[in-house]
Amino acid sequence: MRCTASLRRPRSEFGEQGLRLSEDLVAGVIGRLEGAMPGSLNIVLEPEEALVWAQIGNDGNPLDTFVALGSALLEGIAVGLSEILESESHFCSAVLVEESELAMFVKTHAPSDTLVFSTRLLIDVRDEVVSAVSHLLIEPKYLVQLLSALSAAVH
């Protein structure tokens, strides 16, 4: 499985410009990010693409496969954050969600000043490419730490 963020590909390959939350149903995996930067982390796909992604896996239950693939990808993001922050972060408590993105955010019970960082992804698996969005929800007090680490990682 190879996942590519929009920094490496032209934006035109990611369709519509900008991220907008809609009330449309999405399929996703959400869980807690713990350690250096606690918060919530998820990945969401359109239902049709989620089904394609889930069927790429083994011959087991597609829902279990979808959660396992989503968890693996989100664990990879947590490892990346650990490297950037030079401090341990890990993803845990993954669950399947099938609702709108806004409803997914509300169910985290995050404070109203929570920041949301969204990243468009293209996921290449075998001969299929599916698009997804990952959302990182963190408290404002972690913003300086994240921006500082990202700035150092770019230089």
**pLDDT of 112:** 86
The pLDDT profile of the chain, 155 residues, written as one tens digit per residue, is: 444 444 444 445 545 544 556 678 899 999 999 998 899 999 999 999 998 888 876 677 889 999 999 999 999 999 999 998 889 999 999 999 999 988 888 888 888 888 888 888 988 877 888 889 999 999 888 888 888 887 765 55
Q: Under 8 Å CB-to-CB from 147, ≥6 apart: which residues?
A: none
Q: Indicate the fold that domain 24-154 takes in CATH.
A: Chemotaxis protein chec (3.40.1550)
Query: pTM value?
Result: 0.81
Rounded to a whole number, what is the distance in angstroms from the first to the last CA of the chain?
28
| Cα–Cα nearest to 72, from 41, 51, 34 | 41
What is the number of helices (H) and of strands (E) in the chain? 4, 6
**pLDDT of 58:** 65
Q: Under 8 Å CB-to-CB from 138, ≥6 apart: which residues?
A: 33, 37, 38, 39, 114, 115, 117, 146
- The domain limits of the chain are 24-154
Q: How many CA atoms lie within 13 A of 25 on its CB side?
A: 6
**pLDDT of 14:** 47
Question: Under a CB-based contact definition with an 8 Å cutoff, are residues 142 and 37 in contact?
Answer: yes
Instruction: Return the residue matching tokens 């404002």.
Output: 140
**pLDDT of 151:** 79
